[in-house]
Amino acid sequence: MPVESPGESDLSSHDNETPHQPPPSLWPIGFAVGIAVVLTGLVVSTVAAVVGAVIALVFGFLWVRDVTRPVRAPAPSVEPETRAALTSDAPASEEEPATYGRNTFLAGATLGLGAVIGGVITLPVLGFMVLPSFTNQHEPEVDLGPIDEFPEGEYVIATFLENPEIGEVSRRTMYIRNNGQLRGVPSFTVLYSRCVHLGCPTQPNGPIFEDEKSTFDDSVVLIPTLPAGFGCPCHGGQYDTEGNRTAGPPVRALDRAEFSIIDGNLILGTFYSVAKVEGQGARARIYKYGKMPPGVHVDGAEAWLYPLEVPR
């Protein structure tokens, strides 16, 4: 009488009896990394957010495909059981429809319910975290008064309340020069006074004529000046009359503001950052970028270390 070895007995007792757990998968990790990149990109860079979304979609698809593989797998072919034909003429029974086990149903229901709960919890949190970074970020338009108050070829220090409802805490300072006209269109150089190193207020390197100041609309003060450039007293940053950095730690030229002429008045618009300026006055060529915080490079190899901005 043959005797079964212990190994043979163990194998025979477990053949197709114990369900096999799916092997460990890296798809959830890749999906989580993609979501993290999306959340980071929403704050720092649109390009990073798009890359994160692609990563999350790819790994999410692979994850779902891996989880649903047992459901999608074709049923194993089984040889039909042969029995002796019955003498009765009863019709053959119809083929039973394919069914899925309880484990498959519970796994799918758990994934679906988890996705719904995650969305309900995550979307409001993302809204409160991310939306404030994209709303109310534009500077309000400010009327600085008639362009006649800005003598051609001379700088004027213009201080104004960016938001009169808030009061003096919103006072800003710009250096404005009337460049005359270029092809019949008025041209102005509008420099923001904040140093692009750490945001300290700069000062004109030249006389300031306080006795000639004028006011407009009780909130705008215009003071003539004759600068040879601009300097920051905090850390020694120096700029020329076009705002280009000439010395010290600043990483780019002074920021500027767009302007428009409405009913003969000079109106300030959106602020923007500048890498450098070539030329002077109305014929200057400005390398213009989106508004960036102080200390951030906008061009060169260093700019890759910061959120991406497309030059305009």
Question: Does the structure show a pLDDT above 60 at 7?
Answer: no
> What CATH number should be reported for the domain holding residue 190?
2.102.10.10
Q: What is the mean pLDDT of the chain?
A: 79
Residue that terminates a domain, selected from 38, 71, 104: 71
Q: Which of the pair, 186 or 133, is modelled with greater confidence? A: 186
CA atoms within 13 A on the CB side of 140: 13
For residue 230, is it within any domain? yes
pLDDT band at 64 (very low <50, low <70, confident <90, very high): confident
Residues 201, 280, single domain; the answer is yes
Write the pLDDT tens digit of every residue in 291-300.
888 988 888 7
Same domain, 181 and 267: yes
25-54 per-position pLDDT tens digit? 677 888 888 888 888 877 677 788 888 889
Residue 103 lies in a domain: no
| pLDDT (0 to 100) of residue 311 | 44
How do strand 265-278 and strand 285-289 relate by DSSP bridges?
Answer: antiparallel
Whether residue 154 is contained in a domain is answered as yes
Whether the per-residue pLDDT at 85 is higher than 60: the answer is: no
Q: What is the pTM of this model?
A: 0.59
* Total count of domains within the chain: 2
- Determine, yes or no, domain membership for 115: no
Does 105 reside within a domain? no
Tokens of 128: 């409160």
Please name the residues in contact with 156: beta carbons below 8 A apart, sequence gap of 6 or more: 149, 150, 175, 176, 177, 222, 223, 224, 225
- Residue 228 CA to residue 155 CA, distance in Å, equals 10
Q: Which domain holds residue 34?
A: 23-71
